[in-house]
Amino acid sequence: MKITIFSLGGLLGQYVTNTALLHGAQVTAYVPDAKAIWPRKNLTVIEGSLQNRERVLEALLEADAVISVLTPMHVKHVKEEETPLADGNAMILSAMKQLGKTRFVTVGHVCIHAFGDCEDKYQRMSTKFMQIFWPGVYKDMQKMGQVLARSDLNWTLVRTCPGRDGKVKKVGQNCSISLDGSQFRPGYSREALAEFLYEAAADQQMYSRKMPIFYREG
């Protein structure tokens, strides 16, 4: 399997890249700084911005599936009128459509509401927290949800939320999925999330055109 991973260079992007390589995939990693990734077998690194359409197209040429891990952790202090995550994903989707690519998996925050959500206290609290402390990111996330909903590609948006301490864990947590938020609890394991994102990319029908919430159990 050939997979392209778009990342802003954070830990989750590294985990997803490592997971895909361990599964035997041929990986193209598109990052803003190629020096942040150490070279390995079956890994091609392309450096570029998400506004560079030619470079984005280059990264997508051989892809069977695409994973975008453009996370809010990198853009908490963007200006309120800017929406870099939504715009970046919109660029990727547009380039995919041009090349006839269909499978796209990305990650976002639970403040993105999906049809059928129960909107229990955890989702309401997480949304309110985002609105108050990071209004720019909140706006970005809302636009991202709209971008995906309007796309006719085979997408999956995996929604997440850090734990109560504002952090996520690497290992040692059992994680699960909720489609409506009824079982949702804040927190997740990066390692488990990376595995789930890869599995979703590899399976064309897994949560197709849905927005599952990925969360820790207990």
In terms of pLDDT, which residue wins out, 172 or 103? 103
Cα separation, 10 vs 44, in Å, equals: 17
- Look at strands 103-109 and 65-69 and give their pairing: parallel
The whole-angstrom separation of Cα 115 and Cα 195 is 25
CB 69 within 8 A of CB 4: no
Read off the pTM. 0.92
Q: CA 74: distance to chain centroid?
A: 12
Q: Which domains does the chain have, with CATH numbers?
A: 2-216 (3.40.50.720)
140: left (phi over 0), alpha (psi -120 to 50) or beta: alpha
The residues pairing with 69 across neighbouring beta strands, listed in sequence order, are 7
In angstroms, the CA 196 to CA 165 distance is 23
pLDDT tens sequence across 29-67 = 999 999 888 889 999 999 999 999 999 999 999 999 999
Helices 84-99 and 53-60, axial angle in degrees (round to 10): 60
The H-or-E segment that residue 8 falls in is: none
| Average confidence score pLDDT of the chain | 89
Q: Are 112 and 184 in contact (CB under 8 A)?
A: no
Q: How many angstroms separate the CA atoms of 64 and 104, rounded?
A: 10
Q: Answer whether 42's CB lies under 8 Å from 80's CB.
A: no
Q: What is the pLDDT of residue 166?
A: 45
